[in-house]
Structure 1
Amino acid sequence: MRILFSSLEAYGHTFPLVPLALAAQRAGHTVHWAVGERMHPVLAEQGFTPWAAGMSIRAAFDQAVSQDPSVSSTEAVKADTVAHRDLVRRAFTELIPQAFETDLVPVIDRVAPDLVVSEAASFGAVKAAQVAGIGVVTHGFGRGIAFDRDTPEVTLLDICPPSLQEPEVLTRRGRVPLRPVAFAADGPLPPIAADGDDHRPLVYVTLGTEFGNARVLGEVATGIASLGTRVLVALGPSVPVDALGPLPDGVVVEAWVPQAAVLPHASAIVHHGGSGTTLAALAAGLPQLLLPQGADQFDNAAALVAAGLATQLVGPQAHPESIRAAVAELLAPTAAAAERRRAVVTEIDAMPSPDAIVADLRDLARPVTDLSSVPRQELPTT
């Protein structure tokens, strides 16, 4: 088969789909991918054929702001404001879907795919598939995606462990569980993580690819270093390599690391609570300290804290002393906390693998005949 994947131009929206696409390749299918050009190099490295489509989340926000002079760009990025939520709705339910639908019609004509796999926030791809009469499935990237429920629905491949998913998603008729598999582009493992002779715990620190903050990362590194651990900080593309300045011994800072390869070597993780990193840390059974910065991260953090799977520090609560105390507690977990993490690892392992889902993909995909069945994104993530 020829399969056309589509996702928003962001790592957190694209990488969750890569394991299924790789499984499709292993099964002998040809994979094309419609997404913004920033994602093209890493997708091409995996053997997929990328096609330019859609608009970036940042461009959509900028355009939404430009259409409403009463809202400043500063207000637009504050997740707790009415202005932000209005702009989110406009960007994710109007501007981005319109761009994808427009761009995907000619791509579908060129590729002639047998089916479309659309990331759940890219429902413009679902509309384009409907126009072409092609079967489509949607692929989730985390928790809490709202769907219309009164019409026949597109199949949702849900990668969130059921114990952490929201009830309205679990009861959706078209939901099919899919095991979350961590993906990162290939690269060398940093020596601090690969050193088998250094028995100090390794604490991995990241704020993801979209919410990098040099001040927060520096405070985390400073707080943890006094515990006598190894500390590996992944800056991400938005933080300059030298932005953290001088740091204590035992702290290594990298612009980028192969996160999926690092996690098995870590004893704990401090991160932003983005869906991809959260799911990867859960699958690895790691103690987690969450420092949510925006988007869906506050909801993810609240869910993990409620389940006894993580600790969180929000805003001014996060400073070197509080971070140090929280990580020290993570590195000396109670038996009950360790058992809760193992239970989620077992739950994830029991979910169908990407290879198993690929075998049923044609049957799961079906043409959309009623656009009211297209998924509606409630709170987007990056």
Structure 2
Amino acid sequence: MRILLVAAPGVGHLLPAVPTMWAARAAGHEILVATTGPSLDMAVRSGLPAVDVSPDGSATAGYHQLAPRALARRTAGEHATEGDPAAQWQGMTAAFGSSWSAVRDHRPAEDADFLASLFAVSGRMIDGTVRIARDWRADLLVFTSFLAAGEIAATAVGIPSVLHGMGLPHPPATGLLGVLDDVATRHGVADRLEPPAAVVDLCPEILRPPRSARGLPLRYVPYNGGALLSDVVCAVPRRPRICLTMGSVLPGAGVDEVVQSAITVAAARDAEVVLAVDTPDETIRRRLPSNVIVSGWVPLSSVLPHCSVVVHHGGSGTTFTAFAHGTPQLVLPRMADQPLNADAVRRSGSGVVLAERDLDVATLTSSLDHVLGSADIRRSCALVRAEIEAMPGPEALLVRLAELGGRQASPPAPRGQADPARSAAPGSAD
């Protein structure tokens, strides 16, 4: 079976699906990643064949504009850590089940503008995705959360699609595809879009938001790319280790003041601080205390097992990697789905969440000390980790994907024997 993975430009969208694609390759399936921007480079670094579906850079440029827009709105960071979690979840995801006209007419203008911009990014990827899906003769299209290119491209080519989750179960965004009516019309699918045939669900029940739907369960396997690690980071620390990261987007979106406050608080503890921020401001670098190690982008799965706490922004990959390793968390959410991930941390008892207005040194200090010293938080983290480890691996999922792709799962053909699928598509390569 040929599986085409379509991912947004941001690496946080791609990384949760990489272990699934590795498992599929090991089972004898052919994999191709269709993406652009940072995700393209990460796919290649992950050992997966990839193709650029927006070589003019328009999708990547649009993606990089999303973070400043979301930060300017501030509404998520200000309000998402208050009130009923069920209401928060419904409020964040309701738009994804609505028609675009309803979103445009009934939500604040800045919300509608942000959602339109989000979908415009994948709109710039659809033409290239349709072309490669046809030329490569894909059997199944797997796409990542918040990517409208999935349903349109799969329907245009006439193959089933599968939504691959990132962590919490974000719903399919079929309702918002109206943003891309012109693209869907150009490909002849405006009135016959097929929703995903299945949703790959990485969320354990202990973290599931109230009233959210369940999909095909799959254990979350932490993957953050490869990197050359220093001996210091690899070594088991002799005192508590604190990891500080702001993910792959926020460091370039004007959050240096948040990073500086967190460094000040963490470095004042009798602890070792790993600063996993890709390009911290040079003025920050010059003022770093001796117990701070600047690692840059680093696979968190290599660092968090030895950490007493991770201080972070609430990105899906960071949050779920910490869940999977049982690492206590101090979450400072700012935008997009970060408040939702932070709420999962709070509901599960796995850490502490601070709203943007609470990011003063005194509150940060007391919160970090609480997380470092709380046996209750450590017990809750162990419960979440155990439930994730008990979830099914990719074997059963691959059987289901093979059924959706119209083939039975089978081992690769013996050496010297022609693979019928390859023979049917001359020029294709894995």
Give SS of 2:362's match.
Answer: helix
Q: C-alpha displacement at 1:152, in angstroms?
A: 7.1
Q: Which consecutive unaligned segments of at least 5 residues does structure 2 have?
A: 77-107, 176-193, 407-430
Report the AA paired with residue 151 of structure 2.
V
- Note if contact 1:227-1:324 (Cα within 8 Å) is conserved in structure 2: no
Q: Which residue, out of 304, 309, 324, partners 1:268?
A: 309
- Note if contact 2:243-2:273 (Cα within 8 Å) is conserved in structure 1: yes
Structure 1 residues 104 and 242: alpha-carbon distance in aligned structure 2, compared to 1, 3 A threshold: same
Q: C-alpha displacement at 1:23, in angstroms?
A: 1.0
- Note if contact 1:184-1:258 (Cα within 8 Å) is conserved in structure 2: yes
Q: C-alpha displacement at 1:85, in angstroms?
A: 1.0
Give SS of 1:311's match.
Answer: strand
How far apart are the structure 2 equivalents of 1:142 and 1:158? 7
Which string of whole-angstrom CA distances, capped at 9 and with x for unpartnered residues, describes residues 87-113 of structure 1? 1221234x2343232221111122111
Structure 1 residues 224 and 76: alpha-carbon distance in aligned structure 2, compared to 1, 3 A threshold: closer
Q: Which residue, out of 107, 113, 116, partners 1:87?
A: 113
Residue 273 of structure 2 corresponds to residue 231 of structure 1: yes
Q: Which residue of 1 aligns with 2:9?
A: 9
Residue 34 of structure 2 corresponds to residue 34 of structure 1: yes
Report the AA paired with residue 59 of structure 1.
G
Q: Which residue, out of 93, 112, 115, partners 2:140?
A: 115
- Note if contact 2:70-2:335 (Cα within 8 Å) is conserved in structure 1: no
Q: Which residue of 2 aligns with 1:160?
A: 203
- Note if contact 1:178-1:354 (Cα within 8 Å) is conserved in structure 2: yes
Residue 404 of structure 2 corresponds to residue 361 of structure 1: no
Q: C-alpha displacement at 1:118, in angstroms?
A: 0.9
Answer with 43-52 or 12-21: which moved more: 43-52
How far apart are the structure 2 equivalents of 1:139 and 1:162? 17
Report the AA paired with residue 291 of structure 2.
G
Q: Which residue of 2 aligns with 1:283?
A: 324
- Note if contact 2:351-2:377 (Cα within 8 Å) is conserved in structure 1: no
Q: Which consecutive unaligned segments of at least 5 residues does structure 1 have?
A: 65-72, 367-382
Q: Which residue of 1 aligns with 2:88?
A: none
- Return the index of the structure with the highest Cα Rg: 2
Q: C-alpha displacement at 1:355, in angstroms?
A: 4.1
Q: Which residue, out of 381, 390, 399, partners 1:341?
A: 381
Structure 1 residues 221 and 355: alpha-carbon distance in aligned structure 2, compared to 1, 3 A threshold: farther
How far apart are the structure 2 equivalents of 1:246 and 1:76? 26
- Note if contact 1:162-1:170 (Cα within 8 Å) is conserved in structure 2: no
Q: C-alpha displacement at 1:158, in angstroms?
A: 1.0
- Note if contact 1:61-1:76 (Cα within 8 Å) is conserved in structure 2: no
Report the AA paired with residue 51 of structure 1.
V
How far apart are the structure 2 equivalents of 1:216 and 1:186? 27
Report the AA paired with residue 180 of structure 1.
Y
Residue 55 of structure 2 corresponds to residue 78 of structure 1: no
How far apart are the structure 2 equivalents of 1:170 and 1:128? 24
Q: C-alpha displacement at 1:274, in angstroms?
A: 0.7
How far apart are the structure 1 equivalents of 2:60 and 2:112? 14
How far apart are the structure 1 equivalents of 2:222 and 2:384? 15
- Note if contact 1:188-1:258 (Cα within 8 Å) is conserved in structure 2: no
- Note if contact 1:3-1:114 (Cα within 8 Å) is conserved in structure 2: yes
- Note if contact 1:146-1:168 (Cα within 8 Å) is conserved in structure 2: no
How far apart are the structure 1 equivalents of 2:276 and 2:282? 10
Which string of whole-angstrom CA distances, capped at 9 and with x for unpartnered residues, describes residues 142-192 of structure 1? 32523469x975200011222222344335xxx111111111222233333
Report the AA paired with residue 202 of structure 1.
R
How far apart are the structure 2 equivalents of 1:232 and 1:343? 26
Q: Which residue of 2 aligns with 1:143?
A: 168
Report the AA paired with residue 293 of structure 2.
V
Residue 286 of structure 2 corresponds to residue 245 of structure 1: yes
Structure 1 residues 60 and 256: alpha-carbon distance in aligned structure 2, compared to 1, 3 A threshold: closer
How far apart are the structure 1 equivalents of 2:339 and 2:70? 18
How far apart are the structure 1 equivalents of 2:117 and 2:309? 35
Q: TM-score, normalised to structure 2's length?
A: 0.74
- Note if contact 2:2-2:139 (Cα within 8 Å) is conserved in structure 1: yes
How far apart are the structure 1 equivalents of 2:326 and 2:28? 32
Q: TM-score, normalised to structure 1's length?
A: 0.83
Which string of whole-angstrom CA distances, capped at 9 and with x for unpartnered residues, describes residues 228-260 of structure 1? 1000011125x4455443122211123221222
Alignment of 1:257-336 (within 5 A): 257-334=298-375, 336=376
Give SS of 2:293's match.
Answer: strand
How far apart are the structure 1 equivalents of 2:75 and 2:170? 18
How far apart are the structure 2 equivalents of 1:112 and 1:240? 46
Give SS of 2:250's match.
Answer: coil
Of structures 1 and 2, the one with the larger relative CO (CA 8 A, separation 6+) is 1
Q: Which residue of 1 aligns with 2:258?
A: 216
Q: Which residue of 2 aligns with 1:20?
A: 20
Structure 1 residues 273 and 3: alpha-carbon distance in aligned structure 2, compared to 1, 3 A threshold: same
- Note if contact 1:7-1:119 (Cα within 8 Å) is conserved in structure 2: yes
- Note if contact 2:161-2:195 (Cα within 8 Å) is conserved in structure 1: no
How far apart are the structure 1 equivalents of 2:71 and 2:109? 6
- Note if contact 1:234-1:255 (Cα within 8 Å) is conserved in structure 2: yes
Q: Which residue of 2 aligns with 1:376?
A: none
How far apart are the structure 2 equivalents of 1:34 and 1:226? 45
Structure 1 residues 223 and 20: alpha-carbon distance in aligned structure 2, compared to 1, 3 A threshold: same
Report the AA paired with residue 338 of structure 1.
R
Alignment of 1:119-138 (within 5 A): 119-138=144-163
Residue 69 of structure 2 corresponds to residue 43 of structure 1: no
Aligned residues: 349
